[in-house]
Amino acid sequence: MRAPTDIAPHAGYPGQLFAVSWRALAQLVRSPSHSRRAEAARKLARHSLWLAAAGAALVIVLMVAFDQTEILLMPPRGTPSLWPIRILTDFGKDEYILSVLGTALVVLALVAAGLRGSRRALLLGFGTRLQFMFLSVAVSAFVAEILKYLIGRGRPFVGGKANPFNFVPFEGTGAYASLPSGHAVAAFALAFAVSALWPRLRVFMFTYAIVIVLTRLVLLAHHPSDVVAGALVGTVGAMAVRYWFAARKLGFAICADGTIVPLSGTFSDRLKRVAHRPSAP
């Protein structure tokens, strides 16, 4: 979200809320305008291709050589002592992540509609970053659901035995929705998105993502190749969303070589800069 500059200054709160919300959505679908977006697109395509090739090779190797061995080493599904792991794994559930981010966006719009000038501009700047995080997870999760349906891989021990090659494409039930791991998709998409905005949080966020995928293995919800595929889908999905934002000059800048970087400066720095500009109504 960016601070709208043409909202009628004397519009009532409902009008302000509508205008703020409309412009927050409109900025996401406007035509790309960054002069270096072509370079960034080429870099995204190149990196995505390399990641996809390396990830696909690793998934195949794990499927053939390791998946069956790993799930046989895990404790039986439903083991009572695993209750802390069952709680921890929910922190990577896409529904929960999207609910938190979506609620934060709604609250931010409600508050921003009652503000003016630099305070609104600062808050809506953070809103743009929330939009990026939300869409990184949502787009990646949507792609993952399509892949789950098309691939139809059985979860560990579905069918009564440890068979990593149990596939029923287009089956459409949870028992055959193992690849890619939805938790891995959401966790890695969120980790990439937060790290892209605030690089100092990179170690913390990717540690979180790794912990989430390990819980999926311990709980026998997925094979190792499932979580690797999920990490790949989440990362590439978030990369694509980052390009979409950068091409529209939202939250990111594009360097001469096509590298996408977060807009520089802390929020306190931005507040000082905004305060010296003409206040938005």
* Confidence class for position 110, pLDDT limits 50, 70, 90: very high
Residue 190 identity? L
Q: Residue 8: pLDDT above 80?
A: no
Listed as own residue / partner, the contacts of 75-78 with beta carbons closer than 8 Å and 24 or more positions apart are: 75/218, 76/220, 77/156, 77/157, 77/219, 77/220
Alpha carbons 83 and 81: distance in angstroms, whole number: 6
Amino acid code (one letter) for 72: L
Say whether 252 sits in a helix, a strand or coil: strand
The residue-averaged pLDDT of 1-24 equals 72
CA dist 35 and 250 (Å) reads 14
Answer yes or no: is pLDDT of 97 > 90. Answer: yes
Confidence band of 81 (pLDDT split at 50, 70, 90): very high
pLDDT at 265: 53
Residues 120-166: tens digit of each pLDDT: 889 999 999 999 999 999 999 999 999 999 999 999 999 888 899 99
Q: Is the pLDDT of residue 40 over 60?
A: yes
Specify which residues 253 forms β-bridges with.
Answer: 261
- Amino acid found at 206: F
Q: What is the Cα 191 distance to its own chain's centre?
A: 7
3-class DSSP assignment, residue 169: coil
Predicted pLDDT at 137 = 98
Contact of 247 with 37, CB cutoff 8 Å: yes
Using alpha carbons only, give the angle 197, 200, 202 rounded to the nearest 5 degrees. 75
Q: Token digits for 73?
A: 């080493």
Do residues 182 and 144 touch, judged by C-beta distance below 8 A? yes
What would the two tokens of residue 9 be? Answer: 């200054």
8 Å CB contact between 222 and 216: yes
pTM of the model: 0.90
pLDDT at position 78 is: 87
| Closest to 186 in 3D by CA, of 94, 87, 86, 91 | 94
What's the pLDDT at 277? 47
Helix or strand (DSSP H, E) at 70: helix 67-73
Residue 7's pLDDT is 52
**Residue entry with tokens 């509609």:** 113
Rounded to 5 degrees, what angle do the CA atoms 144, 150, 155 make? 75
Q: Are 43 and 134 in contact (CB under 8 A)?
A: no
Q: pLDDT digits over 246-276, tens only?
A: 999 999 999 999 999 998 754 445 544 544 4
What is d(CA 226, CA 41) in angstroms, rounded to the nearest whole number? Answer: 28
Could you report the per-residue pLDDT of 158-217, keeping only the tens digit for each?
Answer: 988 889 999 999 998 999 999 999 999 999 999 999 999 999 999 999 999 999 999 999
Task: Name the band, by pLDDT with cuts 50, 70 and 90, for residue 9.
Answer: low
Between CA 186 and CA 174 the distance in angstroms is: 17
pLDDT number for residue 115: 87
Q: Decide: 280 and 121 in contact? Cβ < 8 Å.
A: yes
Query: In this structure, are residues 8 and 281 in contact, taking their beta carbons and an 8 Å threshold?
Result: yes
Q: Hey, how many other C-beta atoms are within 10 angstroms of the C-beta on 36? A: 17
The pLDDT assigned to 44 comes to 97
Q: What value does the mean pLDDT of the chain take? A: 90
What pLDDT sits at residue 270? 52
